[in-house]
A and B are shown apart, each in its own frame.
Chain A
Amino acid sequence: MATPYYRPADKVPLPPKSATVKTTACDYCIVACAYKIFRWPVDGPNGGPKASQNAFNVDFPVESLSWWYPDNQYNQVMHNGKLHHVVILPDRDTKYVNKGDSSIRGGCIAQKVYNPRTPTADRLKTPLIRIMGTLLPVDWNTALEVAAEVGKYAIDRYGPLAYGFKANSYQYMENTYAFRKLAWRNIVTPNYSDHDNPGHYPSTPGFRDAGFDNFGFAYDDLRDAETLLIAGTDPYETKTIAFTQYIKPGIEDGHKVIYMLPRRSAGVAYAEANGGLWLDVTPGTDSLVLGAMMRIIYEKGWEDTAWMKKWLNNNWETSSGFGQGTRNTNWQWRTTWGKFQPKSFKEWKKWLFAQKEYELATAAEMSGVAAEKIAKAAEMLAKPKADGSRVKSTIVVEKGLYWSANTVNTNAIAALGITVGAGGRPGQMVGRMGGHQRGGQGGGRFPTNKSPQKVPGRRRLKLNVDVWTRSGHTRFAHVIGTTWLTSMSGTQSLQRRFDELIISNPNQVSSFDKKEIIKTLKARMDSGGMVVINQDIYLRDPIGSRYADIVFPVATWGEEDFLRANGERRLRLYSKFYDAPGDAKPDWWIIAELAKRMGYNASGDYDWKNSNDVAEAMSRSSRKGRKAYHMVKVAAHAEGKTLHEKFRELGSDGIQGPTFYVDGKLFGSKRLHDTELMSRLGKSDDPQDIAHYVDNIDVLSSGANIVSKKTTHFNSQTGKQNLQKFRWSLHSDLWNWLKPRDGSGELWMSNGRTNEVWQSKFDDFRRPYIMQKWPENWCEIHPDDAKKRGIESGDRVVLYSDRVPVVKETILGVKGSDYQFAGLMKNGHIELTKGAITAIAVVTPDIKKGVLFTDFNDHRSQANALTAAVPDSISGNWNYKMAIAKVRKIGVSPYKKDMRAMSFTRRGIVDADTA
């Protein structure tokens, strides 16, 4: 931000030819752009502007799309105890993913590194224990011993269900492996949930049941699709490079993009101005639009009959035995009620045409999307071309779709994918655009059978950790790299319970004596309270700053070698390039030290000496998954290298999972569900394609190689796809109860990400450039809605509701309707709470009238204080987009007149003529 208040430098130092260069990928969004780090000592010479003088080998001034940077991409770090310059730039030498491009988020990642002369000075550096209400620095041994003994006591006295984990699912595979191993293999607790849902549920149940892997497509498929339907996200906003390097070139080639979401940000505006469509859908009504589209397609005979003939399961094939047997599989318990599985394709089609809500006029009215647009979208996706050939259509989704009606919407869009022949061919794929990168690695099998939550009939549901904790059953909460409360629905009522269980409990540590500390924390649990331990890089508000009894400082990106994959399954080594602050340690080390003290290291499993040891230990368990990298280890050892060393060689191009090692060649998989792979074997020029390396499918399973079914087929018993019904009735009770009431002044309140910040802004708070753009939480409001309420851009507003529904207890279902919202209300399991947050109004025509849009995870103003904490009746997930709010002006913010911060200009400007 260049203002008289904050002046960035008007010159930057250049790295000399002798600079150390390392490769890595971004720490942020799913795309994981490749980066290069240029590091050189501060007390050495700088480079110069001639190509012969700098590490980039270019003359300054440089060309566009070349190695230029302002000081936001520069910093200083300690490396081996000595001060070094670093410049961190998108890797212009990589052939894949970003090819030198980057977003503003990863672009400024140099500001992430620990530098005590900058705002990152408050990185956690030592373990802390709350004594006399203050988090005091202690030594590692004390902190670990207290945590281990108190945690073990909770397990021994109250059972594994009393020890709860709330952990991220993405912050590097070595780390997630370690804590999942502790949770599922040692402690064996189902009291475990990820950063983004209240229980360990699939984010896209409809995809999972249809047989689609969430991340089967290649980024090239986004470019090659002739029609691309994007539901519930604008990739430009937070998966930027997937848009700028793939979707935009596709549009420039004449491809059409259909967006389905209520907000027109830059990508939506660009697509709309270039032959695309914006389906401005009212939150929660996506399935109606999708159903109407399918009706039109079948009415006109535009469905991909040849594809469905080959790839659709019939009734018997869908029902045929799964996994553990018919009673406890995810698929089976859903079919018990007859709500999803059709008797035949014919019966499914008959059902589709019998549902009133999918009639075009009805769907248009309820969703607020013009009927002509719905019809046009159907045509763009499925109408054959003049020569009779089919349009190549790809469908991708994200949270706007699946966090508003988790089961219904994902069932519906999976069915649409099957209808238009998408999911299993180049340019014709189905999947998630993604949010975080794929950094999860199972450390054991999730103990679903230990969950006390049962679906009516016989089926077990994975435990809803939020509800379980609210009910007081979590005695010991282990929180790893996530904010928890602000990320979950019903924030303010969950926080009230945390206050009761932790702060109001009379047992507070008031001694520095280790035995006394342990005694007090045990007494807290015995008296019905809760103890919290927290691993993170910063003290987060409130989980760390207010509630944690013990805090462990974590070493993160750049401070340790780690492995992770992006949204097209591209695995890279994220290189260590500087010293972690103070005494911070990586998550895997902290878990290992705890495990040893809890008595779980009898076989030496936790004797890891470095992150490579962890990566090598877990490679076998990656084998059936989409990130299968075991063969990289086989290749590494064959060459006398460690796994990490081999990955370092693969650099920022990395390798796509699942990996293969055949005849001394190491290669990856460009896409999953590749039904045309067999016909391409031995004929492909593309080095990302399996077909480039083998001409015979059998050699793919030679040696230690495993060919998983999803390489060429879908994730079902037969390898074919399941077409399901999608029931508006499973969502309509909540939707009809929640929707803004006439005359009340209520509006829909959706929430999500905006381009310039990442997640909970843990790094952005420490970037003056970004903080001047978004100094506080904001709320987009349509001009008509704003005018009615006397609100202008820059006004401070309060968003409030006195009917935020929050489910109170973990229940044992008896009837099917017990898990429906209407049933929960009727049986007294829902509390109607009040919620309120404040924000700065941004009046813009780029949000649908009747809908507000605010940041989804700002701890200073939590959107989740207003979102319904009502589990999706089938999947159990929170539907974070289901919220309504009244909004009124409470004052004027300084940003209204102060030109230094917060632009209020609409984001949907396309060019000089945009009105």
Chain B
Amino acid sequence: MSLSKTKSKISTKKEASCISNKCLISRRGFLLGSGAVAVSTMAVTLLPGTAKAAKAEVQVARYPSKKIGNIKQLKQDIPVAFNYPDEGRYSDMMLVRTGTRCGGGVGPKQDVVAFSTFCTHQGGPLDGSYNKKYKSLGQCPFHLSTYDLTRYGMLISGQAYESLPQVVLEMDKKGDIYAVGMMGLIFGRYDNLEA
């Protein structure tokens, strides 16, 4: 994808806001999101005002990019709370360094993951239930669901209608960890980006 190398003159306010907010997704994000779920398509004019001006459809991330910490600050098996993709209802998330390779994990050991803390059965609270031996959340106090944080928030045992929504993370060379998307619909919401 050569978009990042293209120097294009910004011609619309929307394009300007999009590019300055870094919502043009990285290569990794593109590969993750190519199911057209976490991304939406918009039209951009390449090389506007020149003889080679052309319209292109580009994919841009729906989700904001939010820095949530640095890997050096994370102690193994001590969850850290944060909010994503906004500060609204049901934006409570937990970030944890599990010490073991995880699906969707970042870091040299791929062991840093983050998930919503609302059970995707009927919205029970999962915060405080992290088990460091099993890398799990639960039993949810409502109906006893348990989740495997090493396997993309899959149910271990339970009733959830969807795996526990996982935060898509990225880590840069400095070890800063960014939340850049969500896999799965957060409890309570009909659209992840509508608080």
Contact = CB atoms under 8 A, between A and B. Distances in A.
A909 B151 contact: no
Given A270-B139, A905-B156, A899 B166 contact: no
B159 A11 contact: no
Contacts of B159: 102-104, 107, 240, 244, 755
A634 to B, nearest CB: 40
Contact of B142 (A65, A107, A902): A65
Highest count of chain B CB atoms <10 Å: which of A1, A240, A913: A1
B11 interface: no
A900 B154 CA distance: 8
A772 interface: yes
Interface string B96-130: 00000111100000000000001011111000111
A354 interface: no
Interface string B137-171: 01100111010101111111111111101100000
Classify chain A: how many residues form its interface, as a range.
Answer: 35 or more
Highest count of chain A CB atoms <10 Å: which of B38, B122, B160: B122
B84 interface: no
Interface in A67-83: 68-73
Contacts, number: 194
Contacts of B133: 914-915
A2 B131 contact: no
Interface string B159-195: 1111101100000000000000011110111111111
Given A2-B166, A899-B151, A236 B144 contact: yes
A222 to B, nearest CB: 16
How would you classify the secondary structure of chain B's contact residues: helix, strand, loop or mixed? loop
Interface in B32-72: 32, 35, 37-38, 62
A747 to B, nearest CB: 23
A132 interface: no
B161 A107 contact: yes
A63 B62 CA distance: 25
A14 to B, nearest CB: 6
Contacts of A914: 131, 133-134
Nearest to B103: A899
B161 A70 contact: yes
Contacts of A772: 154
Interface residues of B, number: 64
B117 to A, nearest CB: 12
A61 interface: yes
Contacts of A29: none
A242 B33 CA distance: 40
Contacts of A11: 185, 190-194
A60 B146 contact: no
A103 B128 CA distance: 24
B150 to A, nearest CB: 6
Given A68-B123, A69-B161, A61 B155 contact: no
A104 B185 contact: no
Contact of B157 (A8, A265, A911): A265
A14 B103 contact: no
A339 B133 CA distance: 52
Contacts of A270: 139, 144
A910 interface: yes
Contact of B143 (A12, A60, A244): A244
A900 B151 contact: yes
B123 A266 contact: no
A60 B188 contact: yes
A773 B144 contact: no
A147 B155 CA distance: 46
Contact of B165 (A2, A100, A248, A903): A2
Contact of A1 (B152, B158, B188, B194): B152
A7 interface: yes
Nearest to A902: B151
Interface string A35-71: 0000000000000010000000000111111101111
A103 B159 CA distance: 5
Contacts of A61: 88-90, 188-190, 194-195
Nearest to A110: B161
A9 B129 contact: no
A668 interface: no
Nearest to B37: A7
Contact of B190 (A60, A101, A236): A60
Nearest to A89: B161
A108 interface: yes
B154 A1 contact: yes
Nearest to A69: B161
B162 A2 contact: yes
A782 interface: no
A16 B193 CA distance: 20
Given A2-B162, A912-B129, A10 B182 contact: yes
Contacts of B31: 4
Contact of B188 (A12, A64, A73, A267): A64
A379 interface: no
B184 A2 contact: yes
B161 A903 contact: no
B88 to A, nearest CB: 7
Given A8-B162, A14-B190, 7 more contacts: A12-B191, A61-B90, A101-B143, A899-B150, A905-B136, A909-B131, A910-B139
Interface of B: 31-32, 35, 37-38, 62, 88-90, 101-104, 118, 120-124, 128-136, 138-139, 142-144, 146, 148, 150-163, 165-166, 182-185, 187-195
Q: Give the 6 A-B CB pairs with smallest separation, nearest first.
A: A64-B123, A899-B103, A11-B191, A2-B183, A61-B188, A70-B162
